[in-house]
Amino acid sequence: MIRLACSLLLSLATCYASVHAAAPQFPGAKSQYQGFDRYDFPVDGKTATVVVPKQAAPGNPWLWHGEFFGHKTEPDVALLKEGFTIVYMHVPNMLGSPTAVAHWNALYQELTEKYGLAKKPALTGLSRGGLYAYNWAAANPEKVACIYGDAPVCDIKSWPGGKGKGQGSAGEWKRALQAYGFADEAAALAYDQNPVDKLEPLAKAGVPLLHVYGDADDVVPWDENTGVIAERYKKLGGDIQLIAKPGVGHHPHGLEDPTPIVDFVVKHASVQPTYEAQPAQKVKPRDGLGNVLKKLNAGQPVKIAYLGGSITAANGWRVKTLDWFRKQFPQAKVDQIHAAIGGTGSDLGVFRVEQDALQYKPDLLFVEFAVNDGGAAPEQIWKAMEGIVRQTWTANPETDICFVYTYRTSYEEPTRAGLCPRAASAMEMLADHYAIPSINFNLDVVKREGEGTLVFQAAEKPADGVLQFSKDGVHPLDAGHELYAADVAAAVEQMKDLPPVDHATKMATPFVADNWEAAKMIPLQPSMLKGDWKKLTDADSLQRSFGKRLGQIWEATEPGSELTFKFRGSQAKLYDLVGPNGGQVSITVDGVTRDKLAPRFDSYCTYHRIATLQVANDLDPNAVHTVTIKVDAKQPDRTPVAFRLKDPETELKSPKYQGTNIWVGQIQLLGDLVTE
């Protein structure tokens, strides 16, 4: 029987730090700046101004103004909405001198060490602000994410000196001599530490630059400032983008549409999360399951979707928890959406979640990929899992999500150390960002093993009183699934008093900028096919077995048959089958054919199963790409499967293992199909 009582949570000595923290709290006088909270407070004898976003982006990224804070506020407002903090230090009349740089050093230390702002801010230098931004950056190249220069001063000889084409400013030139401590004008003219002279450290550090300028600027002539920066930076191998404004002088600053500026800063100064192993806790309620529980308590119909791998596909914890929900809420009609496929991870789940789960309008989505994602890098897990989350809440922001972390042998080691395994840790960081509840099944399993009442893996049933968790160390037997279901029941009991939540408010700031929210599946169209392709009928055994997942399956058996499509995006896969009589294909992307053929057969292929074939990856997301998959005349080597056969020499010659067959259901895209 499933236990209804909640287990005590593990006591953790380590505190859990949120990846997606609230904006830091600053001291000083509080006011408003374009609808956002502004704070002014002293640092190093000068006044610092900090404007905070309503919700900080991961890692607390920030933009630091050199001068003229409050002028052309559109980029500031857009960045505040993206979760950036805006910073300015009141050190006017110092013109980026070494003294100004020293004050900036003090503010940087204060903001990063005391208030937790990102270690690499974006710098913006408007006009004379360029001297502040570039001089501090040259002294601290490893601390700079990027520099945006708006008609920036990059050489004091040009302005305020006026020793070239520009007007200069006699008063500011005198001020510069004093600020920099020059004995006389000759010393200033001989000075070789202007921004145009100190680009090598920035180029070596890979700091990207963006300059916006008017090509008729007679105050800060672009060719004496931006032009010199661009020429020298490119020769040093640096990355600089120029946006010229034809016929425009020093004013007006900025762009009518600030999008290129904002995109540049967001791209280079956003803080990608850094993976850290997370504390293992049996239940992290976070925002809970208030939406679905409200409906259950009201006796309304509810659909629960289960997205995962073979552990969820089995008639185990999925079926047992469904039964529990029905018994706990007998007045509600509770149905399931079975969206689990054995042997698959979140990298497939993100492409199929719409087809297999979301189209049926679930009220609760369980996501289980902690075992099958065990070999994936955290960065890969974040892209796919966040895509699942964002697709779900785009479809319906009232759908509750719950991550569950299943056990496999080797996961006991981090669990005993009080930590989640790597895949679960990566998922916990994402769950914390979006306040998604999570349930860790590992803790109870590992605890019981330590007490001697459970064995992780055994071929035969152990002694009385000892639970046989699994035979293979991965897939629980019924008693193991009973433990999982009990953990779900206890977790729901623990979250029963949490209120409903509109998850749409959580979508403002992504966890990783390159998440796979855009992942989609596209059915094959006859116009894409050339050669011997046929649409499998409902009577065909493969269509009957796999059509629910793959959709309409198309089969090609003759060499030379082709599948061609165009898309605008970065990645494409085929959602297909591998099997004992599977063939192999050549893959051509944008006119370049891959060196090796791709077999649709492997060492497990004593039977047919669902698979994916990567055909294009890491492409220019804004370009249109052409992909052609062609059936090869030779069948793949069948010997990898021989060890699974009783009489491989005879069996591999049988019709079962002969053929050049290809079966494709859909195209998986990160992008959009292009049709002509």
Q: Which two tokens stand for residue 97?
A: 């001198």
pLDDT attached to residue 544:
97
| pLDDT interval class at 484 (50, 70, 90) | very high
Separation between Cα atoms, residue 366 and residue 404, nearest integer Å: 7
- pLDDT of residue 16 exceeding 60: no
Residues 6+ apart with CB under 8 A from 109: none
Looking at the DSSP bridge assignments, the partners of residue 149 are 125, 211
Mean pLDDT of 468-473: 97
Report CA Rg, the chain.
30
The continuous run of DSSP H or E covering 554 comes out as strand 554-556
Residues 6+ apart with CB under 8 A from 152: 125, 126, 127, 129, 130, 131, 133, 134, 195, 211, 220, 225, 226
DSSP one-letter code for 468: E
Q: How many other CB atoms are found less than 10 A from the CB of residue 121?
A: 26
Ramachandran bin of 637, using left for φ above 0, alpha for ψ from -120 to 50, beta for the remaining angles: beta
Separation between Cα atoms, residue 204 and residue 201, nearest integer Å: 5
pLDDT attached to residue 58:
80
Find, among 216, 211, 204, the residue nearest to 228 by Cα: 211
- CB 289, CB 495: distance < 8 Å: yes
Mean pLDDT of 5-10: 30
Residues 6+ apart with CB under 8 A from 382: 273, 426, 429, 430, 511, 512, 515
* Strand 609-616 relative to strand 592-593, pairing: unpaired
- Measured CA to CA in angstroms, residue 444 lies from 15, 159, 319, 401, 633 at distances of 21, 70, 20, 22, 53
pLDDT attached to residue 19:
40
pLDDT attached to residue 9:
29
The per-residue pLDDT for range 134-153, each reduced to its tens digit, is 999 999 999 999 999 999 99
Length of the chain: 676
Q: How many other CB atoms are found less than 10 A from the CB of residue 151?
A: 29
More confident residue, 610 or 509: 610
The continuous run of DSSP H or E covering 629 comes out as strand 624-631
In terms of pTM, does the model score above 0.85?
A: no
| pLDDT interval class at 56 (50, 70, 90) | confident
DSSP line for 9-24: PPP-SS----SSPPPP
pLDDT attached to residue 12:
29
Separation between Cα atoms, residue 525 and residue 519, nearest integer Å: 19
- pLDDT of residue 22 exceeding 60: no
Find, among 270, 176, 135, 265, the residue nearest to 212 by Cα: 265
- pLDDT of residue 355 exceeding 50: yes
In the three-class reduction of DSSP (H, G, I as helix; E, B as strand; rest coil), residue 428 is classed as helix
Residues 6+ apart with CB under 8 A from 49: 38, 39, 40, 69, 87, 88, 89, 90
Q: Which two tokens stand for residue 205?
A: 């550090």
In the three-class reduction of DSSP (H, G, I as helix; E, B as strand; rest coil), residue 628 is classed as strand
**Average pLDDT of the chain, as a whole number:** 94
The per-residue pLDDT for range 504-532, each reduced to its tens digit, is 989 877 888 889 999 999 999 999 999 99
More confident residue, 108 or 59: 108
- pLDDT of residue 474 exceeding 50: yes
Q: What letters, b where the CB count within 10 A reaches 16 and e where it falls short, cover 637-669?
A: ebeebeeeeeeeeebbeeeebeebbbbbbbbbb
- pLDDT of residue 406 exceeding 70: yes
The per-residue pLDDT for range 190-219, each reduced to its tens digit, is 999 999 999 999 999 999 999 999 999 999
* Strand 624-631 relative to strand 302-308, pairing: unpaired
Residues 6+ apart with CB under 8 A from 348: 341, 612
